[in-house]
């Protein structure tokens, strides 16, 4: 009986984000009768597809024990640079590739600064976030850039049947990167660096190389996310992007990725992003004030961090207890 309970407890703990997602969805279905319609569910998935894509990249950074605060400002600058290329006559399909390239470039700048200056990525991005913001407004001259072609907009406005292309794209990327993390050596190295960077280095892992790889992956997904956001709204402006980083980080924490790195799953991160999406959508349908929505999201972020700290403390107690038990038997 106890073994069954322990198995249930492990399953519940491993899938906590999805359990919370189901509970939140059921709660809001009582407050907002229109919540559980096919149209609304598809709308939620489509509106948040770019956040899921962005979260995949940021998850790699956080799993390695780092934090990037410049994500939203990278998106702002990428959007403006893509817009400027549009004005130069670059075709829509190449604009998407350019957005991914710019994302990789900006993210690698962050990572290289952190490595060369021997500071945390968090400290490096506190500086670069303001630089990226300033560059975005300077290049755009605080003006909106419009006129994107349909070939560019398709990534967020197109559909395969009744399913938006952005939803399909985000689903495919989630599956691919989940397999990358769980089935490849590089993915395991990301976990190893997040768990104990010095131990990973002593075991022969090229920590610098893996961090640069993480920067490239994160930048590619942040750049693609910026492209998806610009394509969805149909305009590039410097105000688009900033603030995204806090939503994504909150979703990742809710999704079970430890703030200290070394553990978590991309599938859980998807659940975390969708929890925030459902909260926002459900509160709007229920007629809640926008300020109340901010308060709820802030409380949820604090609870997610608190739960992460509790889990780490609980694991430490279990490890200490097992070590004492070994000492007694020996």
Q: Which of 166, 121, 153 is nearest to 234 (CA)?
A: 153
Q: Please check the confidence at residue 320 and state whether its pLDDT lies above 60.
A: no
What is the mean predicted confidence (pLDDT) over 81-92? 91
Q: Could you tell me which of 308, 255, 310 has the C-alpha nearest to residue 277?
A: 255
User: Residues 6 or more apart from 254 whose CB is under 8 A from it?
Assistant: 17, 20, 271, 272, 275, 276, 300, 301, 304
Those residues whose C-beta lies under 8 Å from the C-beta of residue 126, and which sit 6 or more positions away, are 69
Lowest-confidence segment of 34-43, 210-219, 248-257, 315-324 by average pLDDT: 315-324
| CA–CA distance, 196 with 262 (Å, rounded to integer) | 8
**pTM listed for this prediction:** 0.89
Query: Does residue 319 surpass a pLDDT of 50?
Result: no
Q: For the residues 29-54, what does the mean pLDDT come to?
A: 89
Give the residue among 223, 16, 17, 202 at the shortest CA–CA distance from 110: 223
**pLDDT, averaged across the chain:** 87
HSE-up (13 A, CA, CB side) for residue 209: 8
pLDDT of residue 323: 45
Average pLDDT over residues 23-43: 83
pLDDT tens digits for range 111-163: 999 999 999 999 999 999 999 999 999 999 989 999 899 989 999 999 999 99
Q: How confident is the model at residue 314 (pLDDT cuts 50, 70, 90)?
A: low
Provide the residue ranges of all domains of the chain, joining segments of one domain with +: 20-311
Q: What is the 3-state secondary structure (H, E, C) of 221-283?
A: HHHHHHHHHHHHHCCECCCCCCCHHHHHHHHHHHCCCCCCCCCCCHHHHHHHHHHHHHHHHHH
Taking CA atoms, 1 is separated from 4, 5, 8, 63, in Å, by 5, 6, 11, 35
What's the pLDDT band for 322 if we cut at 50, 70, 90? Answer: very low
Tell me the average pLDDT across 9-20: 74
Q: Is 20-311 CATH 1.10.3470?
A: yes
Average pLDDT of span 314-326: 48
Residue appearing with tokens 């059921």: 26
Cβ neighbours of residue 234 under 8 Å, at least 6 residues apart? 146, 148, 153
DSSP 145: B
Average the pLDDT over 67-88 and give the result.
Answer: 95
- 189-201 burial: b if 16+ Cβ within 10 Å, else e: bbbbbbbebeebe
């Amino acid at each position: 009986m106890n073994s069954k309970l322990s198995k249930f407890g492990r399953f519940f703990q491993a899938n906590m984000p999805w359990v919370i997602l189901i509970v939140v969805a059921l709660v809001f279905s009582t407050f907002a009768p229109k919540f559980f319609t096919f149209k609304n569910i598809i709308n939620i998935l489509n509106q948040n597809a770019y956040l899921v894509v962005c979260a995949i990249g940021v998850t790699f950074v956080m799993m390695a024990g780092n934090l990037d605060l410049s994500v939203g400002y990278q998106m702002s600058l990428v959007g403006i640079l893509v817009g400027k290329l549009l004005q130069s006559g670059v075709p829509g399909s190449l604009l998407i590739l350019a957005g991914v390239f710019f994302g990789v470039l900006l993210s690698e700048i962050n990572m290289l600064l952190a490595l060369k200056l021997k500071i945390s990525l968090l400290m490096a991005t506190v500086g670069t976030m303001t630089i990226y913001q300033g560059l975005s407004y300077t290049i755009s001259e605080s003006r909106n850039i419009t006129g994107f072609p349909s070939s560019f907009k398709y990534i967020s406005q197109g559909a395969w049947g009744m399913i938006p292309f952005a939803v399909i794209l985000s689903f495919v990327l989630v599956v691919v990167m989940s397999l990358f993390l769980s089935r490849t050596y590089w993915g395991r190295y990301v976990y190893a660096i997040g768990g104990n960077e010095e131990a990973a280095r002593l075991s022969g892992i090229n920590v610098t190389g893996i961090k640069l790889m993480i920067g490239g992956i994160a930048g590619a997904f942040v750049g693609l996310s910026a492209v998806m956001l610009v394509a969805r709204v149909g305009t590039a402006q410097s105000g688009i992007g900033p603030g995204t980083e806090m939503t994504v980080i909150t979703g990742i924490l809710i999704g079970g990725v430890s703030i200290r790195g070394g553990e978590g799953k991309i599938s859980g991160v998807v659940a975390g992003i969708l929890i925030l999406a459902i909260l926002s959508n459900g509160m709007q349908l229920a007629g809640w004030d926008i300020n109340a929505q901010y308060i709820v999201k802030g409380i949820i972020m604090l609870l997610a961090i608190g739960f992460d700290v509790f889990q780490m403390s609980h694991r430490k107690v279990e490890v200490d207890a097992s070590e004492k038990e070994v000492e007694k038997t020996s």
